[in-house]
Structure 1
């Protein structure tokens, strides 16, 4: 029963985070137009990308490794702060230098990147103790604070990209503070500088960081390709389709987070039994994606126009549903293989399907194809990665184990 509650909490926590992202992006589209949504999507995509890097290097490591050992704890702290600070400064500098954002907005963007990474690590620390309902609570706090910032700014005289990025940063900071209060007593401590743990964390975390980095990096590259080869408005329209499909994506992501922690905690079961469990999870997640996706397609004609002013393209929405289904077919197998010590092999396969996806998207755009085919191209490459992880990594492991 506790497992079911934890799984529901995982969906709820992911749902709250997705609801916040969904609502803010709808508000951006309605107030700043699709050009504004395109710019915000690129900036927000970088935040998610850096959070993925931190989640893999630090978040997955603290779940699998002995995080209460002083040397490991110190290394986790060093990597957490290092990633947040370096990524924040670098993101702000590049955004300002490239002309994508003005100086003040770029600085706010950098703060958002740093806080987003640290808040994700707070979420992972709560998840490590199966505290998924507490994760949902801090995500709600983040959402509420972000909405308050947006509302007060609107009343004070207007909304801008600076305000929306500032709202995200303020929400993440509030979530970090509440998370520190909600941490179990045994997790609520820091250690001084201790030698000996950096190599341990790096050897495990670097592959998970690479894997977590791949999907948001892919989406960021795709957004940039669409912006350069089509337009910023086209990026905004494509992003609107992805946001509309977010309810399907959140369930997949939430259950995937639960599965990784569950696989890591349950070392007593044989790999063959865990693989059967992963197969069942894939079937369930893909089926759930199809059902929710069908409902979203039915709601698209009026729901899309209500949310964005202009309904997202039907082909793009179907493509994003297919891409979500491909994530459902990949993530449980990747989580099981990583827990089993095959994180480097998983990264290799996922890197290959990411390069393939970029090739597919580039070919579509350079050939003059419709931008709305981009999500379908991503789905095709992603599903190949999921099949590769199962048949090239997990099945041989079961046979030799």
Structure 2
């Protein structure tokens, strides 16, 4: 009786956790989508292209930072003094370098004014600590509070944006950046109040635990940065070889697939800590679980892609306001990219949880190299076909997923014929 009654309760808790993770990603993506919709409607294609590039920089920086700091908070012992001091050092260095580097990038590509570059540096300096606290909520599987913090960011950002732009009678890129700063600050203050004090207790930054931290985080950070770096390189290449207006059209096509990309990212935010919990509980590696998750995400991406392509003619003019054309071919390319993303993510999360970050990096690096090479060849030979770029960067995702699955299966079979602890097996590869 006890086993049968606890099983449904456990399933309910897992369902609530998964729903909370997806809801958090949905709220964040909905806020981002609203900002991008406002930008494309009121900034015009050129300024919207600049906004897309700044967003890509922020996403890339956040991904590298989160995979080093945030995933370490999930996978390693965050209360170990040596690990904690190494994380403190990483946070200080990462925030400083990212803020300065981001503003320099904005100025170098003339994406905004000097005042806008300062605002972007401030936004980065607020965004990364906020993301650290969000990852602590992830590690605690406290998704309800995570959703509350994300809702706070969205509401404050949109409210400040409305209050600042309506009296001026116009919207500027700097206004959007200032509103995002306000939202990030509000969310950071709230999450600090919601977290237990021991979670963010300050410690002296030291390098003593950096070797143990980097043994996991270096490979994880490298492989997690591949996808956002690819998207950033794609946007810069389109801007350089085609035009910023073409970039705006490609970005608008991506907005049509935002729901699918949101669900995939939310699933990843749930799967990694879940696989870590299973590993810590002594649960053997079960690649079939990750493969089933990939199949479900692929099916959802295909369904969303077909719907988005069919609705392009109706929804496209609403998104762009008639400033430029949005075609179904571009939307289809982002659907193919979503399928590629779905094929790899769950298996990569499982491999990461079982400390196979180097394997994930190698597989993803090959996939990324093929996609970027195809993109550059296309843009060099036919910049007028820039709307086909999403197909290029989506190449190889399914093959990468199958390769990861094969490696995980091999590890599981090896563990079944060995007397070693399953958690030690990955290090024998």
Under TM normalisation by the shorter chain, which class is it? Answer: over 0.9
Task: Give the Å deviation of 1:296.
Answer: 2.4
| Superposed CA offset, 1:209-260 (max 9, x none) | 1122111111000001111110000011100111221011101110111010
* Selected match of 2:63 from 35, 52, 57: 52
2:143 pairs with 1:132 = yes
* Selected match of 1:86 from 97, 103, 116: 97
How many residues are aligned here?
Answer: 399
Task: Give the Å deviation of 1:312.
Answer: 2.2
SS in 2 for 1:81: helix
Greater Cα radius of gyration, structure 1 or 2 = 2
Inter-CA distance 194–82: structure 2 relative to 1 (3 Å threshold): closer
Distance in 1 of aligned mates of 2:98 and 2:376: 27
Where do 1:31-180 residues align within 5 Å? 31-157=42-168, 158-180=170-192
Task: Give the Å deviation of 1:192.
Answer: 2.7
2:397 pairs with 1:386 = no
* Selected match of 1:289 from 290, 301, 305: 301
Distance in 2 of aligned mates of 1:81 and 1:304: 43
SS in 2 for 1:370: helix
- Aligned twin of 1:14: 25
| Superposed CA offset, 1:76-131 (max 9, x none) | 12212211111101211232244332211111111222222222222111000001
SS in 2 for 1:130: coil
Task: Give the Å deviation of 1:316.
Answer: 0.9
Structure 1 unpaired stretches of 5+: none
Query: Contact 2:291–2:405 at 8 Å: present in 1 too?
Result: no
Task: Give the Å deviation of 1:377.
Answer: 1.2
Task: Give the Å deviation of 1:383.
Answer: 3.0
Query: Contact 2:88–2:206 at 8 Å: present in 1 too?
Result: no
Distance in 1 of aligned mates of 2:299 and 2:144: 25
Distance in 2 of aligned mates of 1:173 and 1:239: 27
Query: Contact 2:252–2:319 at 8 Å: present in 1 too?
Result: no
Distance in 2 of aligned mates of 1:285 and 1:296: 16
* Selected match of 2:411 from 386, 390, 397: 397
- Aligned twin of 2:225: 213
SS in 2 for 1:380: coil
* Selected match of 1:298 from 307, 310, 320: 310
CA RMSD of aligned residues (A): 1.6
Q: TM-score scaled by structure 1?
A: 0.95
Inter-CA distance 225–191: structure 2 relative to 1 (3 Å threshold): same
2:381 pairs with 1:367 = yes
Q: TM-score scaled by structure 2?
A: 0.89
